[in-house]
Amino acid sequence: MSLNNPDFAVYELPEEHQTIREAVRAVCDGKVAPHAAEVDEKSVFPQEAYDALRASDFHAPHIPTEYGGAGADALATAIVIEEVARACASSSLIPAVNKLGTMPLLLAGSDELKQKYLPPVARGDAMFSYCLSEPEAGSDAASMKTRAVRDGDFWVLNGAKRWITNAGVSEYYTVFAVTDPEKRSKGISAFVVEKGDEGVSFGAPEHKLGIKGSPTREVYFDNVRIPADRIIGVEGEGFKTAMRTLDHTRVTIAAQALGIAQGALDYAAGYVKERKQFGKPIAEFQGVQFMLADMAMKLEAARQITYAAAGKSERGDADLTFFGAAAKCYASDAAMEITTDAVQLLGGYGYTKDYPLERMMRDAKITQIYEGTNQVQRVVMARQVLARS
């Protein structure tokens, strides 16, 4: 079944994608899930997961084969992220953020930039992060203050980026900076900055509610001088590239939310069959069954819209902006509801760290916030609806 079929993901997964799911799940069950609680407890980068994903070519599956990657399509990449998130949400940010950081190159980068920076990521020798948000420019990203000034054959960057996932661990960074302050969003350009460039530094790790194994830090640029050919695409089109990137990568956040929710549902369903009250398993009580039914229904609805959005991402459909926002918004809202209900099904046990559900609930929350809050997603969707009508 081809990805050119618009209904490929809505009714049945192609066999090759089912095979990918089975392969990723085997890796994650054996080498990712056993470390998830410790990664969360100690707030440490999930190195064991990275090593396992790298060995299996699941750390950056989206990179095309011509750059040494696995060449996975958008649906296969979403399934990889979903399955890793089922085991450990922090670890799922390895393939997710590698895609986020490299997507601007894939969309707008020169052949030279792609040939230089994509193969190391494909090999697992480097990771790639995405630097858009700033202390005073979150949802209003066009208000960024980071500047890039041309100086002969170089650009000189000054400023700060906030909430950067995997900062300090990644070797490469896609950085958006103002090159013409008079033009607002049309005066923003994108660049590749290396961790080792003189003038690049990092803030202290943020102390977060969830995804504790994925470092989140500020990135500072103090007269960072980079070659002029590290600009991504055309000067002044960086903001456009940033928004196009998010159209594609919001699908990956939806996939992450699916995985977290699936992990929570799986655990809760197993627990209620074993837990007995009033002389029988609590799974036999209708109130519990209704909760499980609602959780499963929301999860499957979220999965269908996410997979449909992945198909649109692969084809570059005109309505990807709507579907990417809808998938991210719906799946993350569903994940928050499902993980909260899963905690409820375990009662007091669900509220303790002896069980994984409180971690999953905490991890789910960020999916409603990053890559555009769900309030912003609703604005995006509404604009698309109004434009169509």
Alpha-carbon distances of 181 from 60, 148, 186, 208, 239, rounded to whole Å: 35, 10, 9, 33, 13
Looking up tokens 């590698």, which residue turns up?
Answer: 98
Q: Residue 236 and residue 229: Cα distance in Å, rounded?
A: 15
Looking up tokens 């074993």, which residue turns up?
Answer: 274
Q: What is the DSSP letter of 128?
A: E
Q: Residue 254 and residue 328: Cα distance in Å, rounded?
A: 4
Catalytic residue among 134, 314, 358, 371: 371
CA 8 to chain centroid: 23
Q: Residue 202 and residue 218: Cα distance in Å, rounded?
A: 6
The DSSP string of 82-124 is HHHHHH-HHHHHHHHHHHHHHHHHHHH--HHHHHHHHHHHHHT
Q: Is residue 371 annotated as part of the catalytic site, yes or no?
A: yes
Looking up tokens 């296969």, which residue turns up?
Answer: 76
Bridge partners of residue 137, in order along the sequence:
134
Main-chain dihedrals φ then ψ at residue 190, nearest 5 degrees: -120, 145
Residue type at position 79: I
End-to-end alpha-carbon separation of the chain, Å? 33
Q: Which residues contact 247 (CB under 8 A, 6 or more apart)?
A: 313, 320, 321, 324
Give 386: exposed, middle or buried? Use CB within 10 Å, 0-12, 13-18, 19+.
exposed
Bridge partners of residue 158, in order along the sequence:
147
Main-chain dihedrals φ then ψ at residue 124, nearest 5 degrees: 90, 15
Q: Residue 145 and residue 159: Cα distance in Å, rounded?
A: 7
Give 15: exposed, middle or buried? Use CB within 10 Å, 0-12, 13-18, 19+.
exposed
Residues with a catalytic annotation lie at: 371
